[in-house]
Structure 1
Amino acid sequence: MGNEKAIVLDEQAISRALTRIAHQIIEKNKGISDCVLIGIRTRGIFIANRLAERIKQIEGNSIDVGELDITLYRDDLSKKSNDGQPIVKGSDIPVNITDKKAILVDDVLYTGRTVRAAMDALVDIGRPSQIQLAVLVDRGHRELPIRADFVGKNVPTSQSEKISVTLTEVDSVDQVSILEN
């Protein structure tokens, strides 16, 4: 893993960032009537669910939330089972995304490859009128021309550093830290 170098977001800062992103999503889309949040496995799903809660508090209406597994779409497949086949967990998108504004949600934006894979997966499922991107952390070092519409925090990093996002749903603590390799 590496040594923890700095905590860049604590529980309160994550909470504030998600509240701000929720407001920005509502503002940019003039409400949420044609919007659906799509969390990218794994932590993006928890962030999408938290955004949905905040949006409901603000707007009084619920926003649909789906989850996307992009394992098959990665161009750098690393997670393979013993027989060399990619491990697929399956996507679960409860609504037809065609003609909707699909807002992809992930924890960290880095090279852009995950997001590109997610867009490929999304377009195979339906044809959204628009795809937007919300991330908790943008750490730079893009390899593809992809940028987030909504960012919790920009954290400039070096290539030797790693961003660690822990969320209470999986890791029992809400925190974003920089690890030195």
Structure 2
Amino acid sequence: MIRRLLFLTLIAAVIALALRTFVVEGIYVASASMEPTLRVGTFLFLDKASYRFRAPRHGEIVVFPSPVDGRKDLIKRIVALGGDTLEIRDKRVYLNGKKLDENYVQYTRSQERLMGDDLGPFTVPEGMAFVMGDNRDESGDSRDWKDPVTGNPIYFIALTAVKGRILQLN
């Protein structure tokens, strides 16, 4: 009886570990960079399986390691993908010449001019993504990341670095 219980416990642990590693993982929102869409302290699920079968899409909220130091995971929205032409004018995003309808975006400092309020136009390299937080004035994202050694801008994240997409349960 004890032996059977230990065996079943081991099987359950292996299945749970496999699910967490390859399918889904629970995460907490640690910063306000995605507000109002994702509130600080919210518990969410990270879908790790979808991108094994398809590529990330515009507008999806994804998790990836920080391109600056790689020590922490970040949550941002994909704004542009490889081959897209992106421009930001007066805080408004234009994708391939068309203004994006971003009703989920929050601006907390609408009267201030911030770095990243005007950027581009430039074309996103293939296999890369340009990402932004929904709380645009408070988000560290593709607009302002810099290489810690050279100080050069890091505008893009590699799609291969994306760990998964956020599943929103509304």
TM-score (norm 1): 0.25
Q: Which is higher, the Rg of structure 1 or of structure 2?
A: 2
